[in-house]
Amino acid sequence: MKFLFFSKPYFLFWLALFFFSCDSTSKVKTAQDAFPHILLIYLDDLGYGDVSAYRSGTLQTPNMDVLANGGVRFTNGYASSATCTPSRYALLTGTYPWRNQNAKILPGTAPLIIDTAQMTLPKMLSAQGYQTAIIGKWHLGLGTGFVDWNQEISPNPNYVGFDYSHILAATQDRVPTVYIENGRVVNLDPNDPILVDYENNFEGEPTGLDNPELLTMRWHHGHNHSIVNGIPRIGFMKGGKSARWSDVDMADHFLAKGKAFIQENASSDKPFFLFFPMQQPHVPRTPHPRFEGKSGMGPRGDAILEADWVIGELLKTLEESGILENTLIIFSSDNGPVLNDGYYDDAVEKLGDHTPAGPLRGGKYSLFEAGTKVPFITYWKGKIQPGVSDAMVTQIDLLSSLAALVGSQEKGPDSENLLNALLGKSTKGRESFILEATSRTALRAGDWAMIPPYKGPAVQNQVNIELGNAADYQLYNLKADPGQQNNLAASNPEKLEEMKKIYQEIRGGESKVEQLKLK
Ligand code: NG6
Ligand code: CA
């Protein structure tokens, strides 16, 4: 018996087993052969037609095009909302923003709207061994109601899954105009504390309304409270002089932080997830002077060129760090484009032939396509075959899709696993999707879009964007009519009924967020 194990056939078996086990266990799992790094580049108000690879408009965005032409360029990629906060909420939680009534454009003093018990994209990745960071715009609230900006601000992004955070709290046009790192205002002088209020000004502090002589950028609507760097903002702020950001250096500032994070983590055993939400081309548009005049379209075009350059620098950093081929890059925007969003900055006057929304109708704030259909690109050098995909993919789906990529069972309540579509291996995307614009919702399903009746103006005059409001149902076949010119609600009542049914099934269902909280 004893010798039987060592007889020739058995011996070969054991030998094979030995080598097999050596091969599979001796390998240290490094980022190189395990999960990829993930870089999520997220622009603010960049339109479907603002990226030249999307083949409309006249602006040239060579670095965004590197991603678009070297990866999968989605023609049906959606943000979840036509404004910022709800889109970001959906992206990070995999939850429709209309399930959370606080997911609307927030003031800089709003409390954190993500429940710290809720599953999030960075939490999911963190549990799978990722080092996670957010560098850029937050706009999801901070603290629990009253924030003392001079102490540690808590909860902050580090409480919803980020190991490191270096953010601007809300928007570039809202106070406080300071950077916040891991919950602390950067460069704050304790002898010059920061006070922030969205209702009342602080005595003696100049405002855009009262002190036009102090302004270097004029406000058109809103944006007439505290003045920082000559730019009137939304909200009042006093103190914190040493901590105030320089607007024209913001792109360089966040890029330096992003580069440092990539370089520090490139050779680690841990893969990283870097969420890099950029401020461009949201107002106030303040490109660094070296980009001034470069687009011929005024500050909006220049800010997009600046953002494009930043993306090129990030790509270079990945390449120089030797990890470009091990990094999945996802590129998108939080909502559609707007020209005049509250400042006189020549965005309308110098637009020329450029078409920020491409062939789509509407823009930021709109239920029409341009509100939520945005540039959406996945790029992974050597892994993703370049191509164009018409699959419907949305930012809500990143949580479940990336979970599938890294072997996690987590799922966002409304998030679908579209990993194969995102990697360009399948043309199958979502069947249906409810999009949101300033608390109104509409349905996308198949080739169709259905907008229920809404009261309110058809056009928001100040920004000059069609909002999608109408007294009757609207039904569009996007394949035949991407610009939503022919309302087929009356001529195709069957399709309308089918769409209404799908809409009610999703929209009217029990709140999955409540179920989630009970877990
Ligand atoms: C609006 C601002 C707009 C922009 C937007 C938020 C006014 C009149 N308009 O209220 O300028 O800041 O909020 O944009 O104040 S978002 O992209 O962050 O959603
Ligand atoms: Ca935005």
Ligand 2 centroid to residue 87 C-alpha, Å: 8
C-alpha span between 426 and 385 (Å, rounded): 11
C-alpha span between 519 and 517 (Å, rounded): 5
**pLDDT (average), residues 461-468:** 97
Looking at the CA of residue 45, tell me the nearest atom of ligand 1.
17
Ligand 1 centroid to residue 88 C-alpha, Å: 14
- Cβ atoms of 500 and 451 within 8 Å: the answer is no
pLDDT at 2: 42
- Cβ atoms of 400 and 429 within 8 Å: the answer is no
Q: Which tens digits make up the pLDDT trace of 23-43? A: 433 334 444 457 999 999 999
Helix (H) or strand (E) run with residue 184 in it? strand 184-185
Residue 125 phi/psi, 5-degree rounding, is -70, -35
Ligand 2 centroid to residue 257 C-alpha, Å: 21
**DSSP designation for 153:** -
pLDDT at 4: 47
C-alpha span between 453 and 163 (Å, rounded): 44
pLDDT at 56: 85
- SS3 for 293? coil
Ligand 2 centroid to residue 337 C-alpha, Å: 8
C-alpha span between 125 and 122 (Å, rounded): 5
pLDDT at 261 over 70: yes
**DSSP designation for 107:** P
Mutate to test the pocket of ligand 1, among 42, 46, 80, 83 (most ligand atoms within 8 A of CB): 83
pLDDT at 363 over 90: yes
Q: Beta partners for 435? A: 442
Domains in the chain with CATH codes: 36-184+250-426 (3.40.720.10), 435-516 (3.30.1120.10)
Residue 409 identity (one-letter amino acid) = Q
Mean pLDDT over all residues of the chain? 93
**pLDDT (average), residues 86-106:** 98
C-alpha span between 290 and 148 (Å, rounded): 36
pLDDT at 57: 87
Q: Which residues line ligand 1 (CB under 6 A)?
A: 44-45, 83-84, 105, 139, 171, 173, 221-223, 234, 282-283, 335, 341-342
pLDDT at 459 over 70: yes
Nearest to 160 by CA among 217, 198, 213, 122: 122
Spell out the alpha helix ranges (H) of 173-276.
250-266
What is the distance of C-alpha 134 from the center of its chain?
11
Q: What is the pLDDT confidence band of residue 59, given thresholds at 50, 70 and 90?
A: very high
Ligand 2 centroid to residue 423 C-alpha, Å: 26
Residue 44 identity (one-letter amino acid) = D
Looking at the CA of residue 173, tell me the nearest atom of ligand 1.
12
Q: Which tens digits make up the pLDDT trace of 198-244? A: 999 999 999 999 999 999 999 999 999 999 999 999 999 999 999 99
Nearest to 310 by CA among 335, 341, 331: 331
Residue nearest to atom 5 of ligand 1 (CA): 105
Q: What are the C-alpha distances in Å from 396 to residues 409, 450, 463?
A: 16, 20, 27
Q: What is the pLDDT confidence band of residue 91, given thresholds at 50, 70 and 90?
A: very high
